[in-house]
Structure formats: C-alpha cells, structure tokens
Amino acid sequence: MPLIPPSRDRFDEWVELIQEYGGPDSRELAGSGFHGNREPSTPVLTEAGYAEWLTMLEDEADETVPLLPDRVHSTYFWVVDAAGAWVGFLALRRTLNAFLLEYGGHIGYSIRPSRRREGHAARALHDALVEAAGLGLDRVLITCDEDNIGSARTIERHGGVYEDTRGVKRRYWVPTAP
C-alpha cells in the first residue's frame, strides 16, 4: 500500500522532500496540509516545526477539534514507494466547503518532482478511493490544473468523469467503488 499515516520519525526525509518541492511556501505541496489549521499556517523546517505540523495534521483528522473557518476535517497520508521511501503527500477531505467545491476537491495529492512518472500518483489515488469508500463517500471530487495532462489522465483512468473547468482547475467526479 503506497499510503501510510504520518509518523514522527522522518524529520530529515521531510526537510529533503520540502526542499525538493521548492520550500515550505511552494504551491506544489498539494495534499500536505502545509497551509493548515494554525496561524501562521506554514511550518518552519526545524524539528519543532515538524512536530507542530504533525500535530496540526492530527488535529485536522480529529472531528472533536475545532478548525479555522476555511478548513475541513481531513485524513492525511504520505505516499511511499515499494521500499518505503517518502515520495509525496495525499489529503482525503471528508467534506467540501465552498473553496474545495470549486478548486480543491475531496482528494488532493502531489508527488515529489524527482519521482513523478513512476506510477505513484495512480497507486495513491487508487488507495485513496478505497479509503474514501470506507468513509461512506460514494463519489469524490478531484481537481487538477488545466495544463496538468498527467494528473487528468490519472483521474480519468480511475473513472473520473469530467464536469467542467473553473478558473484553471479541471473538475472530475470519481466513483469510490468500481
């Protein structure tokens, strides 16, 4: 299974991963929870920042924790390869708010630049759809940038039905069961 829960023992790998994406302010960090339920919401690349970020992910997963107005409860996963190396992030959002309905969807994910085109996104999306079905979601909204042909194909291969494009985001509804 390419999805694992976040853990506290991968600090050095986390720093390397975030730096490869272009740093903590990168817009490429889809599914990471980086811009989350805290102010300031972007963690610093220190061990304390890593611990704070993990706590924020745990809080967003906990239905009893109040969230900032623009956040929804989500389950976060790390995408790993067969050897267990951390290759990306995935967020499974349990509900949609106005922003997510337009631009973000139920599932957001990203694969580190050096590990793209290896099938990690497809395997992660497959497992995320299984997780979403387990939450009682019959279908999920997934979006991708209009010019991201690889993501569009991955979504379509998993049964994604194109609904429309809003701004620069292609929107797909994907069944969680085959």
Give the CATH number, domain containing residue 7.
3.40.630.30
Are residues 170 and 144 in contact, defined by beta-carbon separation less than 8 angstroms?
yes
Going by their DSSP bridges, the two strands 169-175 and 107-111 should be labelled as unpaired
CA distance 6 to 77: 6
Range of the domain at 126: 3-175
The pLDDT, as a whole number, for residue 45 is 83
CA distance 73 to 97: 11
The pLDDT, as a whole number, for residue 33 is 74
Are residues 100 and 93 in contact, defined by beta-carbon separation less than 8 angstroms?
yes
Mean pLDDT by 10 residues, the chain (178 residues): 88 90 78 62 80 90 90 94 93 94 93 93 96 97 95 97 95 92
CB-based burial, 125-146: b 16+ in 10 Å, e otherwise? bebbbebbbeeebebbbbbbee
Are residues 61 and 140 in contact, defined by beta-carbon separation less than 8 angstroms?
no
Listed in sequence order, the residues at least 6 apart from 178 whose beta carbon sits closer than 8 Å to its beta carbon are 159
Q: How many CA atoms lie within 13 A of 75 on its CB side?
A: 13
The pLDDT, as a whole number, for residue 69 is 83
pTM above 0.85, yes or no: yes
**Domain count within the chain:** 1
